[in-house]
Structure 1
């Protein structure tokens, strides 16, 4: 299933699968948004499946947000697991 991203009230909702086939376009889309917006919120409630490539994509977005002094929020089901996984990457 393809990945679709819709904006509702300033929150970007992702629908479908975040995997090897969709992660690059996901990164490119949100990297562009972070060049124009100071704060980006992604709701992952409608993500049906996420693989290791999808997790790496989220790590990449966190790194881009830190590098460019942007705020990135990931909300929705499973966000705690993703946060625990990605926060290990940036632990000092």
Structure 2
């Protein structure tokens, strides 16, 4: 499924397949949204798939937000279709939200 991003009630919903081939563009899009909107929420609940490279792009987005004094909150940790990417990367963006480290 092609990747799409829709804003719904101030939450950016990412749908489809997030992969190394499109995650850089997704990160750049959200960097612009952070500059325009301030803090943002990104839902990964409806992703059909995600790879490890995408996790690192989202981690880079969280670091960018932190450097700008803003936050990006990721929701969708219960999506079983993407849990393997987080396990494989060793990075849990969802715990960053809880601990207020970088996102």
- Normalized against structure 2, the TM-score is what? 0.75
Kindly report structure 1 stretches of 4+ aligned residues shifted beyond 6 Å: 88-91
- Normalized against structure 1, the TM-score is what? 0.83
The alpha-carbon distance between structure 1 residues 52 and 24, as it changes in their structure 2 partners (threshold 3 A), is same
Q: What root-mean-square deviation, in Å, do the aligned CA atoms of Structure 1 and Structure 2 show? A: 2.5
Structure number with the higher strand fraction is: 1
Q: CA deviation at 1:16?
A: 0.6
User: C-alpha distance in 1, partners of 2:7/2:72?
Assistant: 15
Q: Deviations over 1:31-73 (max 9, x none)?
A: 1001112210001111111101110111011101101011110
Structure 2 segments unaligned to the other structure (5+ residues): none
Answering whether residue 31 of structure 2 is matched by residue 31 of structure 1, we say: yes
Alignment check: 8 A CA contact 1:2 1:22 kept: no
Aligned residues: 89
Structure 1 segments unaligned to the other structure (5+ residues): none
